[in-house]
Each structure stands twice: as C-alpha cells, then as structure tokens.
Amino acid sequence: MDVSVEQSEGLRRRLSVEIPADQLEQAFTTRIRQLGQRAKVPGFRPGKVPMKVLQQRYGDAARAEAVEELLRATYPQAIEKSELKPAGFPTFDIQAEAVGEPLKYTASFEVFPEISLAGLDAITVERPTVEIGDADVERTLDTIRQQHRVWKPVERAAESGDKIKLDFLGKLDGEPFEGGKAEDQEVELGAGRFIPSMETALIGLTAGTETTIDVEFPEDYQAENLKGKQAQFDVKIHSVEAGEDPSLDDAELLKTLGVEESAGEAGLRDKIREQLGRERDKAATTQVKEQVMDGLLAANPIDVPQAMVDEEIQRMRQEAVQRFGNMPNNDPDAMARMLPDDLFKDNAAKRVALSLLISEVIKEKSVKVEEEHVEAVIARYASELADSDQAMQYYRSQPQIMQQFQALAMEERVVDTLLQDAKVTDKVVSFDDLMNPNTEAAE
C-alpha cells in the first residue's frame, strides 16, 4: 500500500492511497465466494453456483462491497503510516476500481493544529478584591422587602409607588394600533416598567376613573411606528393599591428565607452577608478565569478545524433551544433558520481554540485532578441549597453530574496552573461593580 500526503489550505490534508490490484482482486474473490454460500440461483444448489454465474449476477455489488471493506481496513493503516491526526471524518474520492487495476482513493480531512505553548508569563490578570459592606446588605434587604411587599387597596388617588390595575386602549390619530390594548393590566407606578409618560399620567387617578390620557412614546421605543409619537390612551382604573413592606423579623418572612425565627433580623442579615460572599467569590473566580483564558488565547492564536467548529455550533444551538424552551427542536432546518450559524460561529471558534489549548496545557504541565479538588467543587455547589449534605450525596450518586464536576475541577486546576506564571495584581472594586461589570464598562 502506497501512501502520500498533500497539504491543502490551512489544516486541510489530502491523503492519497494506492492498493495493489492483486489485493483488490483477492478481496473481491473473497466477497463473491461469501455471497455464493447463500446465493439462491435457479438450477443450482446453495454453495454450488459456478463462479462465472456469480460474477455475472453479483459481480458489481461484490466489487463495491470489496472496495468498501478495503477502505475501512486500509484507511486507519494509511493514517498511522502518514502520522497525521485527523480532526473529524474524511470525505473519500475513489479514483479507480477497474478489474486488473489497483484501487486508488483519496481521503480529505482537517488535522489538529500543532500547538507550542508560548507567552504564559505574559498573561495579565486583575483579581477583583471585594469587601461586603453594610450598604450591600441593605440593598439586598430592600430587594427582599420589595419582593415580599403586601399590596392593599386604598381609597385615594394613585401615588408613585402604588400599584394600579387598569384596562387601556391606545390610539394614534384616533385609530387603535397593534399592541396598544390590554385588560386588567397591573402597573407599579414609578418602577419604570411602563412608558414613563404613561406612568406619570396615571398618578392622581382613583379607582373607578374612566378617562383619556396623553402619552409620548420615547424616541428609542422598540416599535418603529411608535417612536417619538404622541398617542391617546382610553383608560379605566379598576383598583389602586399601596404596598406595605414586611418587617425583617416577621416569622413568615424568615421561614420563607430559610432563617430560624429565633435568629430574627440579625440572623437574616448574617445569612444575606454569607450569600453575598458566595456570590462575590463566584463572580471573582469567573472574572479571573475569563482573563486567564483570554490571555492564553491571545498569546497562542491557532487555526481551528472547521469540522470541530461546526460541531460546536450545533451544540450551542441545542443549548439555546433548551434555554428558550419554545423552539422547534425536532426540526433541524427550522432551528438553523431561526438560529443561523453566524449567530454562534465566533464563540464556537473561540471555544474550540480554548479546548485545544487547555488540552495542551494539561499535557505540557501535567495537570491532574485529585479527589479533594472534585469534592471542593461538589461542596461549593451544594452550599447553595437548603440541605447541602443531601445534595452532596445525590451528586455523588449521579455519574453524569460527577463527570461535569470533574471537568469543572480540571478547568479550575488549569486556571490555577496558568496563574502561577501570570502577572496578577489585586484590584479593589465594589460589590455592585463586580456583579455588573458591563455597566461599569459602559459608563
């Protein structure tokens, strides 16, 4: 068997293989004899059909099957001989298979890139340092108060902060427009979830009022036909309710939040501070990891096999379908139309490049995951649940979940390994800036 390699563009390779004619004929003869053992030909007993008759009846099929068998058998041998590392399945092109001639075929495929890690000591990381302050706890308590606010009807005009229930019908130049009608709509005045001018116009109205209000749509409103337009809304107010915040030592509130009644407000504050600490640690770890991975990729730009990118695009599309939950996941064509490849290709290429680089880091740095590393990941995830001990037992009983935790532990070990060579500086930031880094960047 003769094997030669031709390099195409980038990572593509073309492997040419030539199999001697006698080997092809031997495979053909073996195959047609196998067919002859069970062939049913009128006038002949099974296994007694003359070779000439078998060739006339089954020659083409037997030769095609012989070629297929030779491809399956010789391709791995040719790959080993060529010392290539294919990334994905090949496409075959059979160039000759005539009687008496050698079998020639080519296999086209992409190979994994050759990676030589560099610049690991040039990776720079700003490690966020955050102290949970009283103001952070108070903001969380304000959110809890709002989430558990009790609404009660009031016999007065609506004020900012009240909740009203109403019917409305919007009109432009006296004509109703699409999306401008609702019944029993609840609006919390001042919360900023409605058109600002509409919320303002509703202040001062009482339950039972039927009137028309003027509303100005913002210039950046999502509906093109309504941007900056003046509209009139016929409204009917069903009710006005005022919110009453719960006491922080309320027994029901404490029970709902998993705090012992005897611990009271102080226990609630301690629990919030502890939870904020976990959120801080998780967000800080994520930011450090992102910086390390971006630095690794910037220092080691590599070509990635398109076949692997295509597989990653499919995986990301499936992830999107699972998140949204209302897409035609049984129809690949419909999914591709709604979520085209271009939506994922850049991130997919980045994921593939990082996976290859991480594999090289693991190999070059001999990164290993011990049982305690996996246990630390399990404990961290279980700590977010009410019964952490039961959660840990459940995780350990699920092989698929354990594989995910092992992968996470390995990822963390890779980050820790790269941090040993990286230039790391601590940066003091607020809890809010840590949790909302994009807001900080936008400002």
CATH number for position 181: 3.10.50.40
The reply to whether 59 falls in a domain is yes
The reply to whether 142 falls in a domain is no
Q: What is the pLDDT of residues 295-316, one digit of tens each?
A: 999 999 999 999 999 999 999 9
Query: How many folded domains does the chain comprise?
Result: 3
* Whether residue 341 is found in the same domain as residue 409: yes
Confidence (pLDDT) at 442? 45
The reply to whether 133 falls in a domain is no
Which CATH number goes with the domain that contains 37? 3.30.70.1050
* Whether residue 45 is found in the same domain as residue 162: no
* Whether residue 260 is found in the same domain as residue 200: no
Instruction: Kindly report the pTM of this predicted structure.
Output: 0.76
d(CA 295, CA 300): 8
Confidence (pLDDT) at 332? 63
* Whether residue 217 is found in the same domain as residue 260: no
Q: What is the pLDDT of residues 195-226, one digit of tens each?
A: 999 999 999 999 999 999 999 999 999 888 89
* Whether residue 343 is found in the same domain as residue 315: yes
Which one of 210, 244, 278 terminates a domain? 244
Residue 18: phi, psi to the nearest 5? Answer: -125, 125
Residues 6+ apart with CB under 8 A from 353: 297, 301, 302, 304
d(CA 182, CA 214): 17
The reply to whether 138 falls in a domain is no
Q: What angle do CA 338, 341, 344 make, to 5 degrees?
A: 100
Angle between the N-to-C axes of helices 345-365 and 399-421, in degrees from 0 to 180, rounded to the nearest 10: 70
Instruction: Return the HEC string of 314-326.
Output: HHHHHHHHHHHCC
Strand order in the sheet with 103-110: 2-7, 12-19, 103-110, 91-96
Residues 6+ apart with CB under 8 A from 256: 148
**Nearest C-alpha neighbor of 419 from the set 361, 338, 379:** 361
Confidence (pLDDT) at 295? 97
Residue 137 has pLDDT above 90, yes or no: yes
The reply to whether 212 falls in a domain is yes
* Whether residue 336 is found in the same domain as residue 370: yes
Sign of CA dihedral 247, 248, 250, 253: positive
* Whether residue 290 is found in the same domain as residue 436: yes
Confidence (pLDDT) at 95? 81
Which one of 244, 274, 305 terminates a domain? 244
Q: What is the pLDDT of residues 90-116, one digit of tens each?
A: 999 988 667 788 999 999 999 999 999
Structural domain harbouring 53 = 2-110
Confidence category of residue 323, pLDDT binned at 50, 70, 90: confident
* Whether residue 401 is found in the same domain as residue 263: yes
Residue 138 has pLDDT above 90, yes or no: yes
Terminal Cα distance for the chain, rounded: 66
* Whether residue 239 is found in the same domain as residue 320: no
Which CATH number goes with the domain that contains 436? 1.10.3120.10
* Whether residue 47 is found in the same domain as residue 178: no
* Whether residue 167 is found in the same domain as residue 269: no
Task: Tell me which of 397 and 46 has the higher pLDDT.
Answer: 397
* Whether residue 86 is found in the same domain as residue 206: no
